[in-house]
């Protein structure tokens, strides 16, 4: 059996990748929250900005990953090339957000 060429041919793979990325982002987000919670109440104010930036980037990346997965599933189900392209673009955006979040974490290490 020959697979479809183009965006529809990878829509299922994109959906699978997006769900896997969402899971990894949840782990990162949990780690970020756990790291923030290790500070004493009086210390939290001085590190709040750094942790909020990481958490918001992670949350937005998580949302884009889930949206990408949804588009991929819809594309596969309805054989819709536009949805497949939307799945790929939102997955690339989620990748970019994860990269930015990782760079911020590395940059914040002092």
What is the pLDDT at residue 3? 56
DSSP state of 6: S
24 within a domain of the structure (yes/no): yes
Q: What share of the chain is helix, strand, coil (3-state, %, to 5)?
A: 90, 0, 10
2 within a domain of the structure (yes/no): no
What is the pLDDT at residue 2? 45
Total number of domains constituting the chain? 1
CB 50 within 8 A of CB 108: yes
51 within a domain of the structure (yes/no): yes
Interatomic CA distance for residues 18 and 2, integer angstroms = 24
Give me the tens of pLDDT residue by residue for the chain, a chain 110 residues long. Answer: 445 678 888 899 999 999 999 999 999 999 999 999 999 999 999 989 889 999 999 999 999 999 999 999 999 999 999 999 999 999 999 999 999 988 988 998 87
1 within a domain of the structure (yes/no): no
> Which candidate, 62, 63, 97, 87, places its Cα nearest to that of 6?
87
Token pair 């997965």 is found at: 69
What is the pLDDT at residue 1? 42
93 within a domain of the structure (yes/no): yes
59 within a domain of the structure (yes/no): yes
3 within a domain of the structure (yes/no): no
Domain hosting residue 91, numbered range: 8-108
43 within a domain of the structure (yes/no): yes
């Amino acid at each position: 059996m020959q697979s479809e060429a183009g965006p529809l041919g990878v829509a299922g793979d994109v959906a699978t990748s997006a769900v896997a990325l969402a899971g990894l982002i949840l782990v990162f987000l949990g780690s970020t929250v756990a790291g923030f919670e290790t500070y004493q109440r009086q210390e939290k104010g001085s590190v709040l900005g750094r942790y909020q930036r990481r958490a918001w980037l992670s949350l937005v990346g998580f949302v884009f990953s889930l949206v990408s997965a949804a588009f991929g599933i819809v594309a596969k189900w309805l054989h819709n090339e536009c949805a497949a392209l939307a799945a790929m673009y939102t997955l690339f955006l989620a990748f970019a957000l994860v990269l930015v979040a990782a760079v911020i974490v590395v940059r914040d290490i002092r």
